[in-house]
Amino acid sequence: MERNNLIAILLIGVVFMGYMWWTTENAPPKKNTNALFQDSTITGESDESDAKPEFVDDSPVIDSLGAADKFGRYFSQFAFGEEKIYTVETDLYIAKFSSYGANLVEFTLKDYTKWDGVPSQLIWEGDKQLFLDFLSVDGRPIDSRELYFEIEGADSIRVRNEDTAELSAVLKIGDNQYIKKVFKFYGNEYIFDHNIELAGLDKVIKKNGYELNWANGVKYQEYRSDMESNYAEVVTSANGELITLDASDYDEEYKESVSGSIDFASVKSKYFQAAIIPNNFDGDVQMIGVRKRIKDNGFVEHYNVSIQRPYEGGNVKHQYKVYVGPLDYDVVSQYGMSETVNLGWWIFRYIGEYLLMPFFLLLHSFIPNWGFTIIIFSIALKLILMPLSKGQLESSRKMKLLAPEIAKIREKYAENTQKQQQETMALYGQYGVNPMGGCFPMLLQMPILYTLWTVFSTNIHLRQAEFGLWINDLSMPDYILTLPFSIMGFESLSGLALAMSVTMFIQQKMTISDPKQKAMVYMMPLLFMFMFSNFPSGLNLYYFMFNILGIIQQVYVNYFQKNQISLAEMRKSPKKEGFFTKKMKEMQQIAEAQQKAKNGNPVNPNKRKRKNK
């Protein structure tokens, strides 16, 4: 059993390391307004989260003739004006809009801060979001960010509680001809309405319509740009399916078009997102992404999403809702976007969404400190999984009792591996031991353990949550030492990863008795120590506590449990041949038959099987 148990642990390690590697390495023809980088460079200061593309503005200073040439007869009149900023403050955020483009230029959350304590502002400096682009009938590609709108509304608006307020921006092209953008804000919601009205533009805008865009994603808020980039992506929900685009290779522009009934289109970072939610829209969405390097081996990813809306003429009003805020499961679920929260895939997501996350949040409603919530959570989960772990530990104890007998067999048949296997299987049968008995309970726990990894890795509730001692952010690694060298890409050591590896070593020491596996007692904890050093400290705190509880349970089973079984009692107890034992015997019989046939004494394995019966 020790060998199979060890193989299972190795597989777990391979899965984790493979997933870590995968997460780490892993526009309309009329005008390329969706291009993320146009001969741009990435610069990074000490704060990598501020790194963004520097767009090269090579457009000349426009005079009246230049405006007429660039924007055509209908839109050149809006190329000149004075920019004015309008501020909207709600209970949850402060948003700023510019008359130059009628775009969102700042969006600051009141309840969240960056890693350095500055309030979280989710729009990259210099960007203008929720802009329109379209093609005029005289063949001019129009970008609304370059036009001055007439704003209707107060310079500063304060919206509280259940109150609402509106801000509208208009391009009056002619009599009964206009483009109008209307924003409606709610005092206690991250979401706001964004309605677009087109009136009398049959001979102004071509029928392929316009695109509503959000460019460059949301601004990074964490200290490590690479860790945040691992979770950045653009997602679209169409026809009941979530389509994701993730830029995994450097300097390559990724594109994907989505068609159908669109529920929402979202750009995400690790903990925040901006989403456009159209009302009753069946059409196309364009997603674009790119990854760029910055200094100090960091990298950033930027994503564009655009909703492509045809225009057949006349007066139309298109309704959208826009969400800019945290990736909080309870919040985004209100707007049908629960899938944007990363809780794993397939069955893991269901476990996290409907079991682990609700239970975790319920505990926190009684325990204010998130670190202690994790500790109580780990204790509760250990109690729930006790029937599985109990069988695993008892199987481990039985294998430990048999270890001296197995050693004798190996010594006696040191030159005959096949005979070793035959005698070992016979020994298992005599004492009623299933060599896979400890492995199967571990496999049953795997979905839960993996789901916990995803839940703790992206849980915004753990972001900047302080536990105590040196652990000041449960969502980040708790580094206590920077190494003078790199081991498998790891340059820093986590305190909780070190503590977790020590408890793993103790567990291995208590359960592994095979001399051939002694080296793994030291190798596995060392491997996991480095592998877990880049994991969030909240996750390592959970695994550390889970190991501590496992050691306590193992000590109880080994030394304090009543009716401790002995070899003599194991031999006398009723024998029940399990599925795995039966299959291993059948495989052994086939191997014996093949060996005898090779030696010139063919044996029919089926005939032998009937004789044994």
Average pLDDT over residues 161-165: 94
Q: Is the pLDDT of residue 607 over 80?
A: no
Q: Which of 370-379, 423-432, 578-587 has the highest mean pLDDT?
A: 370-379
Q: pLDDT digit string (tens) for 539-562? A: 899 989 988 988 888 888 777 766
* Highest mean pLDDT pick, 257-261, 290-294, 503-507: 257-261
Q: Which segment of 207-211, 284-288, 502-506, 604-608 scores lowest on mean pLDDT?
A: 604-608
Would you say residue 133 has pLDDT above 90?
Answer: yes
Mean pLDDT (the chain, rounded):
81
- Mean pLDDT across 265-286: 95
Picking from 538, 380, 554, 386, the residue whose alpha carbon sits closest to that of residue 452 is 538
Tell me what pLDDT residue 47 has.
Answer: 46
Q: What percent of the chain has pLDDT over 70?
A: 75
Cα–Cα distance for residue pair 208/272, rounded to 1 Å: 32
The residue-averaged pLDDT of 292-319 equals 89
pTM to 2 decimals?
0.79
Quick one: pLDDT at residue 312? 87
CA distance 419 to 408: 13
> Which has more confidence, 385 or 591?
385
Residue with tokens 């920077």: 482
pLDDT at 346: 77
All residues at 6 or more sequence positions from 446 whose CB lies less than 8 Å from its CB, including other chains = 12
CA distance 516 to 512: 10
Instruction: Give the pLDDT mean for 5-23.
Output: 48
Confidence band for 157, pLDDT divided at 50, 70 and 90? very high
81 has pLDDT over 80: yes
Count of all residues that appear for the chain in the document = 613
Percent of residues, the chain, with pLDDT higher than 90: 45
Grouping H, G, I as helix, E, B as strand and the rest as coil, residue 594 is helix
* Two tokens, residue 362: 């319920």
- Indicate if the pLDDT at residue 420 is higher than 80: no
Of 11-20, 32-41, 103-112, 467-476, the range with the highest mean pLDDT is 103-112
The residue-averaged pLDDT of 397-409 equals: 76
> Is 158's pLDDT higher than 90?
yes
Model confidence at 599, pLDDT cuts 50, 70, 90, reads low
| Residue with more model confidence, 44 or 381 | 381
3-state secondary structure of 360: helix
Q: What pLDDT does residue 205 have?
A: 93
Minimum mean pLDDT among 106-110, 293-297, 462-466, 512-516: which range? 512-516
pLDDT at residue 522, as a whole number? 77
Confidence at residue 425, expressed as pLDDT on a 0 to 100 scale: 77
Least confident of 163-167, 198-202, 431-435: 431-435
Q: What is the pLDDT of residue 267?
A: 97
Q: How many CB atoms lie within 10 A of CB 154?
A: 12
CATH of region 38-341, choose from 3.40.50.300, 2.70.98.90, 1.20.950.20, 3.30.70.1060? 2.70.98.90
State the pLDDT at residue 415. 77
118: Cβ contacts below 8 Å, ≥ 6 apart: none
* pLDDT the model gives residue 40: 33
The yes-or-no verdict on residue 340 having pLDDT over 50 is: yes
Closest alpha carbon to 436 in 472, 477, 399: 399
**Residue 227 clears pLDDT 90, i.e. is over it:** no
> In this model, does residue 263 exceed pLDDT 90?
yes
| 425-451 average pLDDT score | 68
Main-chain phi, psi angles of 42, to 5 degrees? -105, 130
Contact status, residue 531 vs residue 524, Cβ threshold 8 Å: no
Q: Which residue has the tokens 């008995």?
A: 437
Average pLDDT for 127-139 = 94
The pLDDT value given to residue 567? 67
